[in-house]
């Protein structure tokens, strides 16, 4: 894995073209931040988001970071995210609003 950034409780890494966000958070069963995120194009985001929400799928978190995201639960309660944007865009946004203890590589 190639490191791109680390901060007091997390890191961004890549393996080939796969972007990983590792975040150490308080582990509370089914209440922690652990989730799988999938990229979606900006042109498809609203359509996919509408389709998910119109089917009564529950959101588990509101987006507070760079890029559009939808955080939702699958039918088994697994936490998922649809995200518009790339690792490069996220790293640029961290230069303006860095996480505590951020170190970029």
47: left (phi over 0), alpha (psi -120 to 50) or beta: alpha
2-14 pLDDT tens trace: 999 999 999 998 8
Domain boundaries, the chain: 2-104
pTM of the full structure: 0.65
> For the chain, first and last CA: distance in Å?
13
pLDDT digits (tens, 9 = 90+) for 59-99: 998 988 888 999 999 877 889 999 998 888 889 989 998 98
Topology of the domain comprising 2-104: 2,3-Dihydroxybiphenyl 1,2-Dioxygenase; domain 1 (3.10.180)
């Amino acid at each position: 894995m190639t490191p791109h950034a680390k901060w007091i409780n997390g890191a961004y890494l890549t393996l080939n073209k796969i972007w990983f966000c590792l975040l150490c958070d308080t582990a509370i069963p089914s209440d922690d931040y652990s989730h799988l995120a999938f990229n979606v194009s900006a042109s498809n985001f609203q359509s996919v988001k509408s389709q998910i929400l119109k089917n009564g799928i529950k959101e588990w978190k509101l987006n507070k970071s760079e890029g559009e995201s939808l955080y939702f639960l699958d039918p088994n309660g697994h936490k998922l995210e649809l995200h518009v944007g790339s690792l490069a865009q996220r790293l640029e946004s961290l230069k303006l609003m860095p996480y505590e203890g951020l170190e970029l590589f």
